[in-house]
Amino acid sequence: MRYVFCLLIVVGIAGMSMNAQTTQTTAQINPLLMQWNTPFGIPPFDQIKDEHFLPAVEAGIAEQRKEVDIIANSTEPPMFANTIEALDATGELLSKVSAVFGNLSSAETNDNLQAIARRITPLTSALRDDIMLNEKLFARVKAVWEQRDKLKLRADQIRLLEETYKNFVRSGANLTPQQKERLRKINEESSLLSLRFGENLLKETNNYRLVIEKKEDLAGLPDGVIAAAADAAKSAGMEGKWVFTLHAPSIWPFMTYAENRDLRRQIFTAYIMRGDQGNERDNKSLLVKIAALRAERAKLLGFPTHAHFVLDNRMAKTPENVYGLLNRLWPAALNVAKKEIADMQALIKSEGKEFKLEPWDWWFYAEKVKKAKYDLDENVVREYFTLENVRQGAFTVATKLYGVSFVEHTNLPKYHSEVRAFEVKDKDGSHLALFLVDYHPRAGKRSGAWASRYRSQQIREGKDIRPIVVNVCNFTRPIPGQPALLRLEEVETLFHEFGHALHSIFSRIHYRGIAGVPTDFVELPSQIMENWALEPEVLKIYAKHWQTGAVIPDELIRKIENAEKFNQGFKTVEYLAASYLDLDWHTFTEPKEVDAGAFEKSSLQKIGLMPEIVSRYRSPYFQHIFSGGYSAGYYSYIWSEVLDSDAFTAFKEKGIFDQPTAASFRKNILEKGGTEEAMEMYKKFRGREPSVEPLLEKRGLK
């Protein structure tokens, strides 16, 4: 995601204006303000210190403000080149600095960076408003837009013009002065509240530890999971004990294998109560304010709800269309989930136990049912999925599809010792991108997995500036004597994020303003890559036993295939519940104060969510929508899965490595950014609009 920031006069850390001499001195000592003569233009991480960020952002703000003022105050007639194209080119310094700061704030944050973010956020929010609400600038943009039919522009230039004009309107350019002032306040307050939401969640996640002192409480846990917990305890100064956390590589193996039901309840309850404990990190009041402010902003801008505002710029177009898709999937998913509950309840009874299945039992008994039905043991499967081999497997798929190659560079600056860097070369040997991977959890890294960029691709003054792309994940760590062995879910996540990376790596666009694609389309390049991860032909390439090197046997592949639709009722229901919850929070027609807990309960009762399943994200830790750019858009994953399921059938029909199909996908999807309407890009690849049938088949919902 491109960081969009604007500009101001350079201000020092103490808040005092800096003259030109001070600015020059700062540039001499601040690596963020210097030209990076590093290999591939990678940020000089080894030279950057926390204290460099605020003055660098302020310098970038000043530079972009000057650039924008020149455009707005120009006496030349407004034309595409001197207005639209010129505006797209502003803010290079700020984009460069903000990309480094934003990425580190997610992957390697600390108290200093969080404090700096609180300083920067209101500045950048206000400054973006200064640009988008600049009346002289908008007048020039509008003048160019009004003569668009007379201009001889390329298709991507027409797209940039349309998107630029639309962004100004959606940002309040047509509002009255009083409305604009209120919009500024809403934007500033919303950005700070979202920042606090994310900070609270990170602290809540990091602050919890389940400390086990008795060996008998480890019953059922695999040796590798126990060893990782012992290693975590040792790192925490509690050698001889075992520590489990709320990070994915720790909590989910515990939930899957720990026989101690009460301990499963404890850690699961801690997980679902993050941000909902009535302490200084409670997120309920923050999210209610965020939702109310979004509703008010939507009304100011002429939309019935925030969801209408967001979706007007997406493939889905309206909340009604999204609810329609969710409602089509929900009954079938609910029925499958009820059958899964019945299977687990029967197993509990067969063990001579009388308790009712609870949410903290799901992973444990689902694993038992899977073993009984499919003779599939996750621990046996993991032995064939070392992190190194899975990563190389993803690289091999990209090579076979697109002819690209990956060359590791070990001497580049890194923001953490665990980061690895690969140069991506096209099939003709030309440089495509620098690709960074950062795979293991740390206290300074937020949970989840994501792809981002330290530099975006664009063609400027005839030069193709290639991107610096990063995948950040939270995968199982290696333990002494054993490499990192991934769960199937982690394998698919690695391929997923690599798909996002390829979308950036292959980008060939001229303008940053049309680099992005709608949220409900952006998951297509990532989710389609998951399809290759477990294809038998692909597994034979990279899935090898970590000790013997033996290729995964056909029998185990058959078991994985047979179990592909297992637990899909649960996975679909918990996901759809979160999607409904997201939309419900963002379809307020008026700003209003509500009780967050009561609202969430009502939302989930309305759709009939069973008590055995908790929504994938509860409101107080729903970072995607309250602090992550997916508000009214969490449905995007299932919307994009309709696309990816349909798109992958094109490969299945002709061969999963069919070169013409791969070339078409690269040309019409991966290289295009947002230069065309998403549906038009899809139809150019597929020859038609997508069908929902492959998704229903894939999830076993037919």
Q: Catalytic residues, which ones?
A: 497
The three-state secondary structure class of 596 is helix
What contacts 210, CB < 8 A, 6 or more positions away?
243, 244, 245, 254, 263, 266, 267, 270
114-145: b or e for each residue (b if 16 or more CB lie within 10 Å)? Answer: bebbeebbebbbbbbbbbbbbeebbebbbebb
Token digits for 96? Answer: 């460069």
Alpha-carbon distance of 381 to 366, in angstroms, equals 16
Token digits for 134? Answer: 């600049």
Alpha-carbon distance of 326 to 307, in angstroms, equals 15
Alpha-carbon distance of 636 to 525, in angstroms, equals 13
Pairing of strands 210-212, 242-244: antiparallel
| Burial class, 573, CB count within 10 angstroms (exposed 0-12 / middle 13-18 / buried 19+) | buried
**Amino acid, single-letter form, for residue 333:** A
**3-class SS string, 77-112:** CCCHHHHHHHHHCCCHHHHHHHHHHHHHHHHCCCHH
What contacts 619, CB < 8 A, 6 or more positions away?
283, 284, 287, 581, 585, 596, 599, 600, 626
The three-state secondary structure class of 647 is helix
DSSP label of 571: H
Whether the Cβ atoms of residue 473 and residue 491 lie closer than 8 Å to each other: no
DSSP label of 667: I
**3-class SS string, 393-462:** HHHHHHHHHHCCEEEEECCCCCCCCCCEEEEEECCCCCEEEEEEEECCCCCCCCCCCEEEEEECCEEECC
Question: Count of alpha carbons within 13 Å of 32, Cβ hemisphere only?
Answer: 25
- Smallest Cα–Cα separation from 641: which of 521, 506, 533? 521
